[in-house]
């Protein structure tokens, strides 16, 4: 039996970024099921990195718990925010209060930022899915070095 490819992966949107009426991401080609659809997976990762970087810069959100609580809020009754936090922290080997600065000026944190995005993608799409780590790397480069 063939593996079912998730909507997020079909949309090149590994972190399931919700589409907005008032904003269109670079590389966004439309929306499907309320979620952004991107031309390539790298554009989907680029949007995720920029979004998370804005959590730091605009909202003062730095800890894994804060980041995921904003990304996947309990107020959306479909979300199990604590399970999401637990999953990411377990796979990253950190505690929920661990902080990450998602800004290319803080190179020490950027490898962790990539790990965060990778594990968020696995949480969003499922551990059995093929998460394209080359596209993740390209999306990071596009977000912070080739805007």
How far, in Å, are 33, 42, 47, 82, 134 from residue 139 at the CA level? Answer: 23, 4, 8, 27, 9
Please enumerate in sequence order all residues whose Cβ is within 8 A of that of 26, keeping only pairs 6 or more positions apart, or say none: 43, 46, 47
How far, in Å, are 34, 65, 112 from residue 20 at the CA level? Answer: 8, 24, 28
Q: Is the pLDDT of residue 43 over 80?
A: yes
Domain spans, the chain: 7-144
pLDDT in tens, 68-122: 999 999 888 788 999 999 999 999 999 999 999 998 777 767 899 999 999 999 9
Give, for 29, the enclosing helix (H) or strand (E): strand 28-32
Q: Which two tokens stand for residue 135?
A: 């596209």
Sign of CA dihedral 105, 111, 113, 118: positive
pLDDT recorded at residue 142:
95
Q: What angle do CA 137, 140, 142 make, to 5 degrees?
A: 110
Closest CA to 88 of 105, 69, 106: 69
Q: Tell me, what DSSP letter sits at residue 19?
A: P
pLDDT recorded at residue 108:
67
Section 9-26 average pLDDT: 95
Sign of CA dihedral 79, 80, 81, 85: negative
Q: What is d(CA 45, CA 139) in angstroms, rounded to the nearest whole number?
A: 5
């Amino acid at each position: 039996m063939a593996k079912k490819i998730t909507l997020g992966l079909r949309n090149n949107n590994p972190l399931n970024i919700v589409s907005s009426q008032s904003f269109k991401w670079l590389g966004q080609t439309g929306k499907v099921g309320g979620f952004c659809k991107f031309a390539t997976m790298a554009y989907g990762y680029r949007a995720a990195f920029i979004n998370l970087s804005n959590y730091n810069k605009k909202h003062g959100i730095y800890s894994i718990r804060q980041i995921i609580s904003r990304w996947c809020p309990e107020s959306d009754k479909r979300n199990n925010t604590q399970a999401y936090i637990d999953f990411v922290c377990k796979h990253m080997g950190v505690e929920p209060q661990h902080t990450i600065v998602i800004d290319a000026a803080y190179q020490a944190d950027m490898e962790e930022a990539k790990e965060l995005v990778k594990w968020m993608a696995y949480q969003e799409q499922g551990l059995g899915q093929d998460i394209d780590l080359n596209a993740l790397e390209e999306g990071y480069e596009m977000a912070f070095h080739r805007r």
